[in-house]
Structure 1
Amino acid sequence: MDNNFLRQEITRLKAEKNAVILAHYYQNEEIQEIADFIGDSLELSKKAQNTNADVIVFAGVHFMAETAKILNPNKKVLLPDWDAGCSLADGCDPKYFKLFKKQYPNHIVVTYINCSAEIKAMSDLVCTSANAKKIIGSIPETQKIIFAPDENLGNYLKKETKRDLVLWKGSCVVHEAFSLDKLIEIYNKNPKAKIAAHPESESHILKVAHYIGSTSGIINFIKTDPAAVFIVATEAGILHELSKAVPDKTLIPAPSTEDNSCACSECAFMKMNTLEKLYLCLKNESPEMKISEELRIEALKPIERMLELS
C-alpha cells in the first residue's frame, strides 16, 4: 500500500471513529507527520486524558499504551504492533522484582515510568526522566529508597540528589549503545558543539555532556541555547521534529558502537510501528490494550502521586 493512500485512509478513519493518534518522538518520520500529538510517553498519556476522543492509537511501545490505558480506562487504546516492547521494561520481571523488594523491607519503591503495569502496581511513586530529581527530593532524607528499572538513570540520580538508592540492574539498549570514542572524535571535529544526553546513557557519556535531561528537556535546551551545532545522545528519532524547529542549527546524532545503517542509535522496537500497521490497527481496532481493573487501580496510584508532586 502506498503512503498517500495510507495517509488518506488514516485521516478518514480518525474522523469516523473519533480517534486521536499519539506518536512518541522516536517514531518514524511518516508517523510523526500524521500524529495529532508528538511527545514523550507521559506527556502523551496526559494529552490523551484531555481529549474527547473515543479511541487512542499509541504509536510507541507496549508500556506506553499500557500507561495510556491506566490513565484513560473509558477510552479504547490501540497500538500498531503488539510486539513493540522495550528492553528496559522487559528486563524487569514482576516475579523477580517482588523477590528483590522483599530483600529491602523498609524501602520506598520509586520506578521510572518505562516499566510494566505490574511493576507500577508494586511501586510507591513513579517518575519520568524530567521529574525524577524532584520526586526523589520529595521523599524524607531518612527514608530508604529502591529505584528501578534503569540503573544508569539511578546512578545519575544518586550523584545529583546525594541519596543512597538501591538500584535494580536494568538498562535501555539504545542509550547504552553510544560510543564514547566516536563521540569524542565528532566533538574534536566540531569543538564549538554542545553535547546533549539523556540520563539513561552510561556515566562516561554523561561526563562529557553539556546538558543532561529528558527528551523534552533536550529539545528545549537545543531550541534556547545559542550554540549552532549540537551532538545529540538519545534516540535519533527526535531529530525529525527538532530540525523543523531549529532549521538554522546543525544537529548530529551521537554515534553508536554498532556500525548500523544510520550510524546513530535507533530503537528497533519503536521502529516496528509503520504507517501500514497504524492504518490496520485503526481499521480493525486491534491490537487493543486491555488491563484488569484491579491492576489498573493499583498501577494508577503511584502515577497519581507523581502527578500531584510534579
Structure 2
Amino acid sequence: MTIQELQNKIIELKKEKDVCLLVHAYQNHEILEVADYVGDSYGLSLKAKDAPQKNVVMCGVRFMAETVKVLSPEKRVFIANENALCPMANQMDKEQVEALREQYPDYTIVAYINTTSELKTAVDVCVTSSSAVEIIKNIKNDKILFIPDCNLGSWVQKQIPEKEFKFFHGGCPTHLRITKKDIERAKEIHPNAEILVHPECLEEVTNEADYAGSTTGIMNYAKKSDKKEFVIGTENSIVHHLQYECPDKMFYSLSKECVCPNMRATTLMDVYNTIKGVGGKEIFIDDEVRTKAKNCIDKMIELGG
C-alpha cells in the first residue's frame, strides 16, 4: 500500500467512525496531511472540545491526549501510539509539588502544560510556551514557582523582571541537545539566515537567537518574514513542514540531534489501526483527578484568554 492509498483509507474511516484527528506539529508530514487540526497541545484540546465528532484520536504524546480528555470528558479519546510519552511530563509527580508548596507557601505554583493530569491537580495554573508570559504577568502574586522546565521558566523571568521566580530543574531532553556551539556553527555556515529557537532550549541558545518562541510562533514568524533563510532550533519536523509551506524560502536544522523519539514514534499505520479499532490506547481519567486538573486549565483560560 502506498502512503497516498493509506491516507485515503484514513480519510474514509474518519467519516465512517466519527473521528476527529488531532495532530501535533512535531508529527511526520504524512500524518499532518490527514489531520482535522494541526497545532500545539493546548490549541488541539480546544479544537477537540468544539469538534462535533464523538471520538478523538491524538497524534502526539500522552499528556496531550490527557488534556483533551480533561476538557472533553464526554468524548472517547485515544492516543495513536501508547508508547509516545513525554519525558518532561514525568520529571515531577504530585507528591513533589505538594512538598514544594509546603516549602514555599507564599508562591503561586505555575506548571507547564507538558505535565500529567495528576500533577495538574496540585498546581494553581498551567501555561503554554506561547501564553506563559502573559498569564504570569496577570497573576497578582509576585512570587512564582515555575515547574518543571527551568529553561522556559528563565526565559519567562527575563521578560517579567519585576517578579521573583523559583524553578524546578527539569526540561526537555530533545531541546537540551542544542548548544551555543550549534548557534556559532549555524551563523558561520548560513550568515544570511535568521535563527529561530524554542524557549525550551538552554539560555545560552535563546540569548544568541534572532527569535525565541513557541512552535506556532516560530512557524508564523518564518511565514510572515520577508527574509529568505532560517535556521530552526526546535524539533526537526518543523524544518520539513516549513519547507512544504514556504517553498520559496530555505530552512535548515540548528542541530541534527533535535529529534524527539516520542513524537516520531507515531506512524501513519498507527493512525489507521487506531481509527480502525485495532490499535492505539483509550485514555481514561478518574473523575476527581479530571475535575481538579481542569481547575488549573480554567485558570489559564481566565488569565490568558
Interval of TM-score (by shorter of Structure 1 and Structure 2): over 0.9
Report the 3-state secondary structure (helix = DSSP H, G, I; strand = E; otherwise coil) of the residue aligned with 1:35: coil
What percentage of aligned pairs have identical amino acids? Answer: 36
CA gap 1:143/1:164 in 2 versus in 1, 3 angstroms: closer
* Segment of structure 1 superposing worse, 73-82 or 241-250: 241-250
- Residue identity matched to 1:245: E
Please name the residue that 1:259 is paired with: none
Q: Distance in 2 between matches of 1:248 and 1:2?
A: 28
TM superposition shift of 1:28: 1.2
Does the 8 Å contact 1:68/1:77 carry over to 2? yes
Please name the residue that 1:301 is paired with: 295
TM-score, normalised via structure 1 length: 0.93
Q: Distance in 2 between matches of 1:293 and 1:180?
A: 45
Please name the residue that 2:69 is paired with: 69
- Residue identity matched to 1:42: Y
Does the 8 Å contact 1:32/1:38 carry over to 2? yes
TM superposition shift of 1:217: 0.7
- Residue identity matched to 1:39: G
Q: Distance in 2 between matches of 1:18 and 1:239?
A: 32
Q: Distance in 1 between matches of 2:82 and 2:63?
A: 10
CA gap 1:3/1:228 in 2 versus in 1, 3 angstroms: closer
TM-score, normalised via structure 2 length: 0.95
Matched, 1:148 2:142: no
- Residue identity matched to 2:298: E
CA gap 1:309/1:278 in 2 versus in 1, 3 angstroms: same
Q: Distance in 2 between matches of 1:117 and 1:308?
A: 19
- Residue identity matched to 2:262: F
Please name the residue that 1:49 is paired with: 49
- Residue identity matched to 1:300: K
TM superposition shift of 1:48: 0.9
- Residue identity matched to 2:158: K
Count residues with an aligned counterpart. Answer: 302
- Residue identity matched to 2:287: E
Please name the residue that 2:107 is paired with: 107
Report the 3-state secondary structure (helix = DSSP H, G, I; strand = E; otherwise coil) of the residue aligned with 1:30: helix
Matched, 1:288 2:282: yes
CA gap 1:4/1:194 in 2 versus in 1, 3 angstroms: closer
- Residue identity matched to 1:271: R
Report the 3-state secondary structure (helix = DSSP H, G, I; strand = E; otherwise coil) of the residue aligned with 2:247: coil
Describe how 1:181-220 pairs up with structure 2 within 5 A: 181-220=181-220
Report the 3-state secondary structure (helix = DSSP H, G, I; strand = E; otherwise coil) of the residue aligned with 2:176: coil
Residue segments in structure 2 that go unaligned for 5+ positions in a row: none
Please name the residue that 1:226 is paired with: 226
Report the 3-state secondary structure (helix = DSSP H, G, I; strand = E; otherwise coil) of the residue aligned with 1:34: coil
TM superposition shift of 1:111: 0.7
Q: Distance in 2 between matches of 1:88 and 1:309?
A: 24
Q: Distance in 2 between matches of 1:232 and 1:55?
A: 34
Report the 3-state secondary structure (helix = DSSP H, G, I; strand = E; otherwise coil) of the residue aligned with 2:227: coil
Please name the residue that 1:161 is paired with: 160
* CA offset digits 1:109-131 (Å, max 9, x no partner): 11111110011111111111101
Report the 3-state secondary structure (helix = DSSP H, G, I; strand = E; otherwise coil) of the residue aligned with 1:99: helix
Please name the residue that 2:12 is paired with: 12
- Residue identity matched to 1:280: N
TM superposition shift of 1:2: 4.9
- Residue identity matched to 1:20: C
Report the 3-state secondary structure (helix = DSSP H, G, I; strand = E; otherwise coil) of the residue aligned with 1:176: helix
* CA offset digits 1:22-79 (Å, max 9, x no partner): 1111111211111111111111111111110111100000000000111111111011
Please name the residue that 1:136 is paired with: 136
